[in-house]
Structure 1
């Protein structure tokens, strides 16, 4: 689907007094409503917070393309659930060259292979986010929405995204429709309802209910020194206040000392270090906001702990199989002829709550894809290498990583590939480049600007911006009950000068869409 919607000239003009008032209102709203991050080098326990990076105005986004991305989420949920259940496919794709040349993915795949025949919990829970950019390949204003990646682990900013939308609606009300500086801002129906905090917490609660023990807790596995703690704490508060479910937080290093798995029942138990005489708490759901990057596993101890948790009866969000399903290599292989049809249209695939799907559904999904190529020695891989070295300005080289900051762009690709070729290899080991995929660059429309405020600053900078739309989904599968729902959206906006994002470091702002 293409949209010919012309984005309005943005941002609309305002007086210096209106600009200053918006900064004051947005910053105080953020601090008052937990739309916040911890400052760098915060003390523990924390004694202060700063507003999360924000935009003074919502950013225009074509309504039809927003609706398309939201409508596709249940189909994407079903697709990745079916991938996680297809062990033969995961073995073929992730157990091949990727596991041999990518140490992190190799450890993940070998660990999952080691424990998968011992698994006692068939139910899996996914909190997903499918990320998109607007694409204007011809510069004509005819736009499409193209998928950047699909996240199956630690899909963050759901709570803060809800707060961003609430902040922009508050500014709309508090300033008489943004001082009537724009017809788009004056129309309240252009501000879409968005409740990812509520919906993601409800998804975690569905996993807790499927586990079947009203006394059990939800475990958040978190990183040391996490600055995005409020995004996570809002989920904890929502679980407790809306569902009566207690959550506890631990890092991998905590769990190495605390986690116990009962030998007979395989229940995961966590004793309280503050109440040593009380019975340990049983864990119903393990929700990972960590474990997606090599730095989360500084030693073998963390991998040992991950395998211990995987063997337990707790429902994992995600399981190791579902984490593997989110790899970039999987995204690339799905582009090969017939693979998507097999997963979505084959009658032999398990029912995961998407309903009967048609070729039209497959075609709509595929319309959101940009060119993806392997970096192996197949004919297609050889073609990809030629394109990467002769026309690098059209591509991005992607490793099997989450969390941003790992990609190689444009003119940096050829010298990077040359450096990979110099790295030593064991006998029979694939070339290092096979750990990567080559992706055609998405070309966002030009001419859209906004006022961005870095966290903790009292001024805004006007920037030519690029906005990335994330669509959340919740998926519970593998048991008697299936949950397959969209769960709201996230808009991250950054200056066009930066290829990479990063909210905590101030490159991207948490934004909300203005539908036009």
Structure 2
């Protein structure tokens, strides 16, 4: 969604500002109205109205899903434990959708098809030091946090690359964009953003897919067979946890030292359980299957600053506690300023990258929405800024800070654009706001009964790449699965860490079945 994170389980809180009682009453009214409707009128975008017969069945399925979630480890530490201290002693299912949300099959296939090209694009960008320095030269004038990262990149480059092998974990986020200007007859895949390294969700993504399959199986039992409205649906296979763990394990092997450790750096007081432990367990499992004992350790950034040292007189290896050689560091946090509490945590264009591959360029560009860097002050940028101030509902303002802290909407965005200096604007981009497909689903949070809501979904596509930065050679490049985070359609910030989003999965339908002759089919889901 427009903010990210793993399962920072603000799982007890309704973040919407809408009174819960009003939403519950509205949910029950909708359910009652649909019960008398002609079943032939039910659209696949709101198939959940077809498969739930009454409130008793809904509550039964809700409890069934919660019980099954506990049985498969789809739980996370609660964010408000009785003693005020985060611990895995108190664990509950995270915010989840009761059913998989419908999504156009063709757009899912498009996202899968483009992922390897997206992996390679970002690997080439990361390997081009001059390009990066030029791209960030204006950003760092207004963003001291990013300026520190640029300073580190310069230091590493100036010293020379002593370890050319790099592993890149990526999650490219998309929405199904519906354009009402053409009569509502088409949908397109549009990219929200690309995340590198701190890619929340791979652990729970597989587990929630498993949960939703179980719920649909239970529905089939209740209905005496699969509901007819699901005849052309498909739940895509999702092996994100295993595939990402495989990339990390292969990277560890390429280092060539069977005694070296694989280190994960994280914010230890968060509830990112799914991103670390599930991956840790999977890497250890893969190693054991291959006869390797992979020691995967998790440290906070603060602990790492005290316990990790660099051998600057030898082979420039990292060492943990002076004795354990580090093969690979997977940094899962460190993308917001608060995760660097002291100085000790800090150490001391598409064609450009695919000049001979226009088809790959076109494939990548097909997912782009309007995007403008604000570091320039030409006529085109001035016009875009003026339009964003006049029509703020059509744009989103973003900085480099993750976790939803650097995204601004509507009146706040317009006010910032009016007040910022040119240097301050250079740390931001303007993005054309996506008009997402709206569907129906039941959303579940702790202490709140499942509610029927208008829902929009953001699909993240995972990819991994292992490459040699010294010569550009690619050793591994793969599509690794997907994750879905959904939110109510009237919520702007929808990431897990912001409390507005929920974990979800996909139920794919042919796009033709998700489009209706009237615009209202999508607007009034």
TM-score, with structure 2 as normaliser: 0.81
8 A contact 2:262–2:328 mirrored in 1: yes
CA shift digits 1:40-90 (9 cap, x unpaired): 144465312110111111110010110000110000001000001111110
8 A contact 1:38–1:50 mirrored in 2: yes
Q: Does 2:463 correspond to 1:464? A: no
**Which shifted more, 241-250 or 64-73?**
241-250
Q: Which of 228, 231, 234 lines up with 1:183 in the alignment? A: 228
8 A contact 2:403–2:497 mirrored in 1: no
8 A contact 2:494–2:500 mirrored in 1: yes
8 A contact 2:220–2:226 mirrored in 1: no
Aligned partner of residue 383 in structure 1, secondary structure: helix
- Check 1:457–1:505 CA distance in 2 against 1; reply closer, same or farther (3 A cut): farther
Identify the residue that residue 13 of structure 2 maps to in structure 1: none
Hey, what's the Cα distance between the residues in 2 that align with 1:54 and 1:70? 24
- Check 1:258–1:137 CA distance in 2 against 1; reply closer, same or farther (3 A cut): same
1:185-200 counterparts in 2 under 5 A?
A: 185=230, 190-200=234-244
Hey, what's the Cα distance between the residues in 2 that align with 1:458 and 1:465? 17
Aligned partner of residue 49 in structure 2, secondary structure: coil
Hey, what's the Cα distance between the residues in 2 that align with 1:262 and 1:34? 40
Q: Does 2:108 correspond to 1:71? A: no
- Check 1:137–1:396 CA distance in 2 against 1; reply closer, same or farther (3 A cut): same
Identify the residue that residue 513 of structure 1 maps to in structure 2: 506
Identify the residue that residue 238 of structure 1 maps to in structure 2: 282
Q: Does 2:101 correspond to 1:59? A: yes
Q: Which runs of 5+ in 1 are unaligned?
A: 1-5, 272-278, 308-338, 347-357, 422-429
Aligned partner of residue 45 in structure 2, secondary structure: coil
Aligned partner of residue 108 in structure 1, secondary structure: helix
1:465-480 counterparts in 2 under 5 A?
A: 465-478=455-468
After TM superposition, give the deviation of residue 186 of structure 1 in Å: 5.5
Hey, what's the Cα distance between the residues in 2 that align with 1:451 and 1:248? 38
After TM superposition, give the deviation of residue 226 of structure 1 in Å: 1.4
Aligned partner of residue 438 in structure 1, secondary structure: strand
Hey, what's the Cα distance between the residues in 2 that align with 1:53 and 1:185? 25
1:300-319 counterparts in 2 under 5 A?
A: 300-304=343-347
- Check 1:481–1:377 CA distance in 2 against 1; reply closer, same or farther (3 A cut): closer
8 A contact 2:495–2:501 mirrored in 1: yes
Hey, what's the Cα distance between the residues in 1 that align with 2:151 and 2:457? 37
Q: Does 2:126 correspond to 1:84? A: yes
**Which shifted more, 80-89 or 15-24?**
15-24
Identify the residue that residue 437 of structure 2 maps to in structure 1: 445
Aligned partner of residue 12 in structure 1, secondary structure: helix
Q: Which of 344, 361, 368 lines up with 2:354 in the alignment? A: 344
Identify the residue that residue 401 of structure 1 maps to in structure 2: 401
Q: Does 2:307 correspond to 1:258? A: yes
Aligned partner of residue 404 in structure 2, secondary structure: coil
Q: Which of 145, 150, 154 lines up with 2:198 in the alignment? A: 154
Hey, what's the Cα distance between the residues in 2 that align with 1:193 and 1:360? 27
CA shift digits 1:298-321 (9 cap, x unpaired): 2221113xx5xxxxxxxxxxxxxx
Q: Which runs of 5+ in 2 are unaligned?
A: 1-42, 289-293, 510-525
8 A contact 2:320–2:326 mirrored in 1: yes
1:329-478 counterparts in 2 under 5 A?
A: 339-346=349-356, 358-375=357-374, 376-421=376-421, 430-446=422-438, 448-454=439-445, 456-457=446-447, 459-478=449-468
Hey, what's the Cα distance between the residues in 2 that align with 1:9 and 1:260? 55
Hey, what's the Cα distance between the residues in 2 that align with 1:291 and 1:176? 45
**Which shifted more, 105-114 or 135-144?**
135-144
- Check 1:7–1:79 CA distance in 2 against 1; reply closer, same or farther (3 A cut): farther
CA shift digits 1:249-305 (9 cap, x unpaired): 10111112211222312221113xxxxxxx83221110011111111112221113x
8 A contact 1:374–1:384 mirrored in 2: no
After TM superposition, give the deviation of residue 230 of structure 1 in Å: 3.4
Identify the residue that residue 269 of structure 1 maps to in structure 2: 319
After TM superposition, give the deviation of residue 416 of structure 1 in Å: 1.7
Identify the residue that residue 39 of structure 2 maps to in structure 1: none
Q: Which of 178, 184, 202 lines up with 1:140 in the alignment? A: 184
Aligned partner of residue 190 in structure 1, secondary structure: coil
8 A contact 1:470–1:490 mirrored in 2: yes
8 A contact 2:389–2:418 mirrored in 1: no
1:11-90 counterparts in 2 under 5 A?
A: 11-13=48-50, 14=52, 15-42=54-81, 43=85, 45-90=87-132
8 A contact 1:218–1:246 mirrored in 2: yes
Hey, what's the Cα distance between the residues in 2 that align with 1:458 and 1:149? 31
Q: Report the RMSD for the aligned CA atoms in angstroms.
A: 2.0
Aligned partner of residue 215 in structure 1, secondary structure: coil
Aligned partner of residue 345 in structure 1, secondary structure: coil
After TM superposition, give the deviation of residue 418 of structure 1 in Å: 2.8
Hey, what's the Cα distance between the residues in 2 that align with 1:45 and 1:39? 8
After TM superposition, give the deviation of residue 510 of structure 1 in Å: 0.8
After TM superposition, give the deviation of residue 508 of structure 1 in Å: 1.1
Hey, what's the Cα distance between the residues in 2 that align with 1:469 and 1:132? 5
After TM superposition, give the deviation of residue 33 of structure 1 in Å: 1.3
TM-score, with structure 1 as normaliser: 0.83
Hey, what's the Cα distance between the residues in 2 that align with 1:19 and 1:505? 27
Q: Which of 217, 240, 261 lines up with 2:261 in the alignment? A: 217
Identify the residue that residue 166 of structure 1 maps to in structure 2: 210
The count of residues paired between Structure 1 and Structure 2 equals 448
- Check 1:177–1:283 CA distance in 2 against 1; reply closer, same or farther (3 A cut): farther
After TM superposition, give the deviation of residue 169 of structure 1 in Å: 1.1
